[in-house]
Chain A
Amino acid sequence: MRTHRPNPIVSLVSRVVSPFIMMFALYVIFHGHYSPGGGFQGGTLIAAALILIRLAEGNETAQLQFPRAWATPLGSLGVLIYFGTGLAAVFMGGRFLDYSVLHLAHHATMSRSYGILLVEIGVGLAVTAILVSIFDNLLEGKPDA
């Protein structure tokens, strides 16, 4: 996998398919709280789309799309979104992760629904970044001194 042998068929198909995978992944994330789906599943799909480009186009070209250095800060940002939603609930006077006090909607149940959506987005971002980071680290595998 270190040496990339360019292949026109693989390259074309993966470039066409990858955006559709990402679109489907967004659908899965946003429908997580009342039908099958959710942050982890959608995040894995986005990571699959990014890894597909890495496999088809070679590692160096794919770094232009999602550089290796973005992975850890983006992962931390995703977890921070999750944590921040819970912390915002604490500052508004409720318990940690009590979305009904966040007043995102008029009804408490709808407020909980939107709160879970925020959490799912954070989880999806974190899972994407970390899975791509695992793939990059395993690919690197520098011999140790």
Chain B
Amino acid sequence: MLDFFIGHYAYWFVFILMAIGLYGMTVKCNLVKKLIGMTIFQVSIILFFVASANKWGATVPVLDHSAGSIDPTKYINPLPHTLMLTAIVVGVATLGVALALVITIYNRYQTLDETRLLEHMRKDDDSE
């Protein structure tokens, strides 16, 4: 039973981060806090992939030719790391677009609070 928690502690950590990110995105009213929640959520998935690449007693996947023949079980799996490079870039680009949107919203409505934004939009809709 204890092994279920301690043996997989990396995945429990990822799960807690994911929950924090989802909480931030859904419950918080401020747009910037939603963005922070979104970033935490994406980072938790990246950590999940990286944690899954590990092997017992393995080292960094840079080939060491002086060790003789190459044994694949001595190096961790580099493929999830490569995939996560792309995922990090996607996260950065999304954050850039989101920040530009937040600045535009602030310039037009002078508030970043979601409930007040929705009120303004309903008023604009009715007056149109």
Residues of A within 8 A of B (CB): 34-36, 38, 40, 127, 131, 134, 137-138, 141-144
Question: Which of A34, A38, A143 is the most central at the interface, judged by chain B CB atoms within 10 Å of its CB?
Answer: A143
A71 to chain B minimum Cβ distance, whole angstroms, is 13
Neighbouring B residues of A141 by C-beta, 8 Å:
103, 107
Residue B99 CB within 8 A of the other chain:
yes
B100 touches A38 (CB 8 A): no
Per a CB cutoff under 8 Å, which of B88, B89, B100 touches A137? B100
B62 interfacial by beta-carbon distance below 8 Å = yes
Asked if A138 contacts B107 (CB within 8 A), the reply is no
Main secondary structure of the interface of A (DSSP, over half): loop
Q: Are A38 and B85 in contact (CB under 8 A)?
A: yes
At the interface, is chain B mostly helix, strand, loop or mixed? helix
B26 at the interface (CB under 8 A from A): no
Q: How far is the CA of A87 from the CA of B69 in the complex (A)?
A: 37
Q: Say whether B85 contacts A138, CB under 8 Å.
A: no
Please determine whether A138 and B100 come into contact, CB atoms closer than 8 angstroms. yes
CB-CB nearest in chain B for A134: B96
State in angstroms the CA–CA spacing of A81 and B96 once bound together: 24
Q: Are A144 and B108 in contact (CB under 8 A)?
A: yes
Contact of B62 among A35, A134, A144 (CB under 8 A): A35
* Any A CB within 8 A of the CB of B104: yes
Given the interface pairs A36-B62, A137-B100, A138-B99, the reply to whether A144 lies near B107 with Cβ below 8 Å is: yes
Residues of B within 8 A of A143 (CB): 107
Residues of B within 8 A of A142 (CB): 107
Q: State which of B62, B89, B96, B104 has its C-beta within 8 Å of the C-beta of A40.
A: B89
Roughly how many angstroms separate A2 CA and B108 CA in the complex, as a whole number? 20
- B 101-117 to A, binary, CB cutoff 8 A, 1 in contact else 0: 00110011000000000
* A141-B103 Cα distance, complex, nearest whole Å: 7
Question: What is the minimal beta-carbon distance from B65 to any residue of chain A, in angstroms?
Answer: 11
- Shortest distance from the beta carbon of A135 to any chain B beta carbon, whole Å: 9
Docked pose: A131 CA to B107 CA in angstroms: 22
A143 to B, closest residue via Cβ: B107
